[in-house]
C-alpha cells in the first residue's frame, strides 16, 4: 500500500472514529482507539483541520467534526430527500410516456444523474445514478445551461470545450447559445441524438421559489419510439411533471426538512 493511500485511509478512520464517539476526542484518545502513534494522529489532524474536515477547540484542544463534513452531510441529505420525493413522479412519467425517466442535478461543469425509473419494454435506456453527462449535448445539461447567465455559460465552454459526441452534437458556442434561447422559450431541452446516436432525450427544469432550476427531470428513449412526432406530446408530460415536482418542493422546501 502506498504512503498516500495509507494516509487517506487513516484520515477517514479518524473521521469515522470521531463520528462513532459522538463527542470530541483528544489526540491521546484517538491514538488509543486507533492503535496509532500520537505523532501520526497529530500530523493527519493538522491536514484535516486546515481542510475544515475536523475542528479543534482552542481551549480543550480536542477534535470534533468540522464544517466541511457538516456541509457534505447536508448536501447528501438534500440529494437523498430530493430523489425520495421526486421518485413517484418519475414512476408516473414512465407510465405516461412509456420511456425511461430520470432526474439530474448540476454538478460543477457537468450534470449528474441521481435516479432513474425504467419501463417494462424490451428496449430501455440505462443511466446509472452517479454518472455524469456533458452540459452542451445532454437534455439535462441544456436545462442547467439555459438557467445560467451567458457569462457563466461562456466560462464553462472555455473550460470544457464543446467536443463532438456524435455528428449531431453542437460544437460551436453561437449555435449553443441559440439552442439555449429555444430551451428558455419552449420550457424544455432536447438531446436529439447529440450524445448517443439512436437515443433521444427530453427534460424540463424543476424550479424553486426563486424560479431557479434545482434539478432537471425528463425521459430518454430510442428514436424508434421517441420519434420527432412525439416531441410535443412528451414535452407536455415532462413540463407538467416538472411543475408538479416544483409545487410540492415549494410547499415544503427541503431546507425545512433538514431542521426537522
Is there a single domain that holds both residue 152 and residue 252? yes
Domain boundary among 31, 65, 99: 65
140 and 220 belong to one structural domain = yes
How do residues 174-209 score in pLDDT, each as one tens digit? 999 999 999 999 999 999 999 999 999 999 999 998
Domain finish residue from 31, 49, 65: 65
- Shared domain for 100 and 226, answered yes or no, is yes
Residue range of the domain that includes 19:
3-65
My answer on whether 58 and 79 are in the same domain is no
The reported pLDDT for the residue numbered 148 is 96
pLDDT band at 74 (very low <50, low <70, confident <90, very high): low
- How large a percentage of the chain has pLDDT more than 90? 71
How many domains, the chain? 2
Contact present, 221 and 199 (Cβ < 8 Å): yes
Same domain, 40 and 116: no
Own/partner pairs, 169-178, CB within 8 angstroms, 24+ separation? 169/136, 169/137, 169/194, 169/195, 170/136, 170/137, 170/194, 176/136, 176/145, 177/150, 177/153
Q: Which of 65, 85, 108 is the last residue of a domain?
A: 65
The three three-digit cell numbers of residue 176, written as one number: 449553443
Q: Whose grid coordinates read 430551451?
A: 183
Query: Tens of pLDDT along 130-180?
Result: 789 999 999 999 999 999 999 999 999 999 999 999 999 999 999 999 999
Q: What DSSP assignment string belongs to 206-233?
A: EE-TTS-EEEEEEEEEETTTS-GGGHHH
Average per-residue pLDDT for the chain = 89
| Max intra-chain CA distance, the chain | 69
Q: Which grid coordinates are listed for 133? A: 453527462
Residue 52 and residue 103 in one domain: no
CA 102 remoteness from chain centre: 12
pLDDT in the model for residue 22? 86
Question: What is the model's pLDDT at position 80?
Answer: 74
Grid look-up 449553443 returns 176
Per-residue model confidence as pLDDT tens digits over 196-251: 999 999 999 999 988 999 999 999 999 999 999 999 999 999 999 999 999 988 87
118 and 226 together in one domain: yes
Regarding whether 129 and 54 lie in a shared domain, the answer is: no
Q: Give the contacts of 115 (CB within 8 A, at least 6 positions apart).
A: 83, 86, 87, 90, 102, 103, 129
Give the number of other Cβ atoms within 10 Å of residue 35's Cβ. Answer: 6
pLDDT at 130: 79
Amino acid at each position: 500500500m502506498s504512503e498516500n493511500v495509507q494516509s487517506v485511509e487513516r484520515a477517514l478512520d479518524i473521521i469515522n472514529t470521531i463520528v462513532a464517539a459522538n463527542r470530541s476526542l483528544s489526540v491521546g484518545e484517538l491514538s488509543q482507539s486507533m492503535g496509532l502513534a500520537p505523532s501520526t494522529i497529530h500530523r493527519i489532524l493538522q491536514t484535516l483541520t486546515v481542510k475544515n474536515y475536523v475542528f479543534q477547540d482552542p481551549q480543550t484542544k480536542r477534535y470534533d467534526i468540522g464544517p466541511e463534513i457538516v456541509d457534505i452531510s447536508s448536501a447528501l441529505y438534500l440529494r437523498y430527500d430530493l430523489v425520495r420525493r421526486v421518485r413517484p413522479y418519475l414512476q408516473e412519467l414512465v407510465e405516461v410516456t412509456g420511456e425511461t425517466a430520470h432526474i439530474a442535478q448540476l454538478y460543477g461543469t457537468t450534470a449528474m444523474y441521481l435516479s432513474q425509473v425504467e419501463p417494462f419494454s424490451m428496449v430501455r435506456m440505462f443511466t446509472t445514478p452517479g454518472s455524469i453527462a456533458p452540459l452542451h449535448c445532454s437534455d439535462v445539461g441544456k436545462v442547467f445551461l439555459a438557467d445560467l447567465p451567458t457569462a457563466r455559460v461562456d466560462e464553462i465552454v472555455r473550460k470544457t470545450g464543446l467536443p463532438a459526441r456524435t455528428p449531431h452534437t453542437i460544437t460551436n458556442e453561437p449555435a449553443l447559445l441559440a439552442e439555449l434561447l429555444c430551451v428558455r422559450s419552449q420550457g424544455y431541452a432536447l438531446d436529439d441524438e447529440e450524445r448517443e446516436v439512436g437515443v433521444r432525450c427530453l427534460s424540463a427544469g424543476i424550479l424553486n421559489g426563486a424560479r431557479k432550476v434545482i434539478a432537471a427531470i425528463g425521459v430518454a428513449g430510442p428514436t424508434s419510439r421517441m420519434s420527432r412526432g412525439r416531441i410535443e406530446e412528451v414535452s407536455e408530460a415532462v413540463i407538467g411533471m416538472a411543475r408538479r415536482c416544483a409545487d410540492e418542493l415549494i410547499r415544503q422546501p427541503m431546507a425545512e426538512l433538514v431542521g426537522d
